[in-house]
Amino acid sequence: MNEVENLVWILPDSRPEHYPGSWPLEFEEKLLTLYGFDYHVDLKEDVVQLFSGGVQHGFKVDLKEDSHPDYHGDAHALPEEWTNRWKMCILDPPYTSNWSRVLYGVSEILHSKYIAEAVRIVKPRGFIACYHWAMTPTPDNC
């Protein structure tokens, strides 16, 4: 079995603009730096962010068009041609099906499905970071 690093951070409140479900202040920069990415350069070829909302770095994927994603679509079913495309996938999903309804107007959020998609689109030896209120199981094929 592979060793999987689990980190727990205590972070400040959300950004001042408070996009619903947004990352805490400075989280993106801290995470990207930890894994060796320079957030001062364009990371769209290296980092993808699913459920992107108000994120600032990488290739953004979201169901909500008002968040101005690079790809408007569902993290549960990403394009096949994205297999092994990115070095890192960062996810900030709604934590419950209720939040999924409130934020996205869809009834169900399936951890096993969106995390399997993240595993598929990340290059071998790449990174997956999922921001969640609960410890989630290690994905299959990691």
What pLDDT does 49 receive? Answer: 96
* Span 102-111, average pLDDT: 78
* Span 111-133, average pLDDT: 90
Query: 4: pLDDT confidence band, cut at 50, 70 and 90?
Result: low
What pLDDT does 16 receive? Answer: 57
Query: 108: pLDDT confidence band, cut at 50, 70 and 90?
Result: confident
* Residue 104 confidence (pLDDT) above 80: no
DSSP state of 44: T
Q: Are 91 and 75 in contact, with CB atoms under 8 Å apart?
A: yes
Spell out the domain ranges in the chain: 50-142
Looking at 56-133, which runs of residues are DSSP E strands? 59-62, 71-72, 86-91, 122-130
* pTM of this structure: 0.83
φ, ψ of residue 69 to 5 degrees: the values are -75, 160
What pLDDT does 141 receive? Answer: 72
What is the Cα–Cα distance from 24 to 55, expressed in whole angstroms? 10
Residue with tokens 């297999």: 83
pLDDT digits (tens, 9 = 90+) for 47-87: 999 988 888 899 999 988 888 999 999 999 999 999 999 99
Q: Are 141 and 131 in contact, with CB atoms under 8 Å apart?
A: no
Beta bridge partners of 89: 48, 128
